[in-house]
Amino acid sequence: MIDTQLEGKNVLVTGGAGNIGAAISRAFAAQGARVAIHYLAQDLPTPEGAEWGHITPGTREAEKLARELGNGSFAVSADLSQPDGARRLAVAATERLGSIDVLVNNAAHCETPDTVDGLTAESLERHYRVNAIAPAVLTTEAARLRTGDQSLSIVNISTDAARAFPGQIGYGTSKAALEGLTRATALDLAGRGIRVNAVAPGPVQTGWMGEDLLAQAATVVPMGRVGEPEDIADAVVFLASHQSRWITGQVLQVAGGHAL
C-alpha cells in the first residue's frame, strides 16, 4: 500500500466545488485530509459581448460537497477577481484550518470569444486576475502564514492551451503565466521546504462537450479518449503526496498524449 501521508492534512482547493475542483476535493478527502472548498458566492455580471465558458457552482453546491466529504471540511467564499480576494481567502482558510498544508490553485476564469480579433485589455485583465495574479498572491500568503517548518505543497492547475490553442488567447496566455509562476516560486521557496508544481490537463469532459464534440476530441488524443475530472485529481494528489517529496517546479501534462 502506498502511504501518501495526507491523512490529517489541511487542504485549500480554489474553485473546489464543481467539475475538476470537486474531483480534487473528493480525492484529498479520500486520503483523510480536511478540505476547505473555495467557491464564488455570487454570479459575476457577464461582460458585454462575452459568454462564460463554464457555470460556476455557488453556495449550495459548495456546502453540499462539504457535508459529503465530512472530516471537518467546509466551504469558504471569495471573489478572486478582486484585488484583495486572494489574501482574504488565505487568511479566512487559515483561521478555520489552523494551517494550510496543501494549496491547489484550481479556480479559473474562461470567457468567449477569446480570439485575437476579439481581444481587449479588459478581457485580458479578467483572465489574468483569476488565472495568474490570484494564484501568485495565494502562494505568497500561504508561505507567509506557514508556521515553523510545517509542510506546504502547492499545485497549480494549468492547461495544454498554455502551449498553443487557437481561440483561447487570454485563457491560454494567463495559464502560461501560471506555469512561469510555478517555476519561479518553486525556486524561491525551495530553501524553505515548500514545493510548487503544476498539472496541465488536456481535453476533459466537465459537461461542456456534447456527443459530437466529445467524439471529435477523442480523435485528437493519442490514448483515444478525453479525460475525466478524476484523471486530473489523481495527478494533483500525487504531486501533493509524500511520493513526490523531491519534485518541485514541474508541469505535469495529464492529457493522454494530447499536445505533446
Residue 3 lies in a domain: no
Our answer to whether residue 171 is catalytic in this structure is yes
Residue 19 scores a pLDDT above 70: yes
- What is the sign, positive or negative, of the torsion defined by CA atoms of 179, 9, 192, 95? positive
| Average pLDDT of the residues in 222-239 | 96
CATH label of the domain that carries residue 195: 3.40.50.720
d(CA 64, CA 123): 32
- pTM across the whole model: 0.94
Contacts of 163 (CB under 8 A, 6+ apart): 172, 176, 259
Position 256 scores a pLDDT of 94
Q: State how far the Cα of 21 lies from the Cα of 18, in Å rounded to an integer.
A: 5
How far, CA to CA in Å, does 175 sit from each of 30, 222, 239? 28, 23, 18
In a domain, 34, yes or no: yes
- Alpha-carbon distance 38 to 200, whole Å? 20
Q: How many residues does the chain have?
A: 260
Q: What is the pLDDT of residue 54?
A: 65
Neighbours of 258 (CB within 10 A): 19
Look at strands 102-105 and 111-112 and give their pairing: unpaired
Cα 21 off chain centre by: 7
DSSP label of 203: S
DSSP letter for 225, please.
Answer: S
Say what the pLDDT of residue 213 is: 85
Residue 67 placed within a domain:
yes
The yes-or-no verdict on residue 117 having pLDDT over 80 is yes
> 56 falls in which pLDDT band (50, 70, 90)?
confident
Domain membership of residue 2 (yes or no) is no
Q: Is 233 exposed, middle or buried (0-12, 13-18, 19+ CB in 10 A)?
A: buried
The Cα-based distances of 177 to 31, 66, 160, 163, 252 in angstroms read: 31, 31, 13, 11, 15
Exactly one of 69, 141, 154, 171 is catalytic; which is it? Answer: 171
Say how many C-beta atoms besides its own lie within 10 A of residue 223's C-beta: 12
- State the average pLDDT over residues 84-102: 97
d(CA 7, CA 34): 8
pLDDT of residue 210: 84
State pLDDT tens for residues 149-188.
889 999 999 999 898 778 899 999 999 999 999 999 999 9
Q: Is 4 a member of any domain?
A: no
| CA–CA dist 84, 116 (Å, integer) | 30
Instruction: Report the pLDDT value the prediction gives residue 30, as an integer from 0 to 100.
Output: 98
Residue scoring higher pLDDT (66 or 44): 66
The residue written with cell numbers 515548500 in the block is 194
Asked whether residue 78 is domain-assigned, the answer is: yes
Is residue 5, in this structure, part of any structural domain at all? no
Helices (H) and strands (E) in the chain, counts: 8, 9
For residue 44, what pLDDT band results from cuts at 50, 70 and 90?
low
Taking 70 as the threshold, does the pLDDT of residue 86 lie above it? Answer: yes
| Domain, as residue range, for 140 | 10-254
Domain count, the chain: 1
- 58 pLDDT tier (thresholds 50, 70, 90): confident
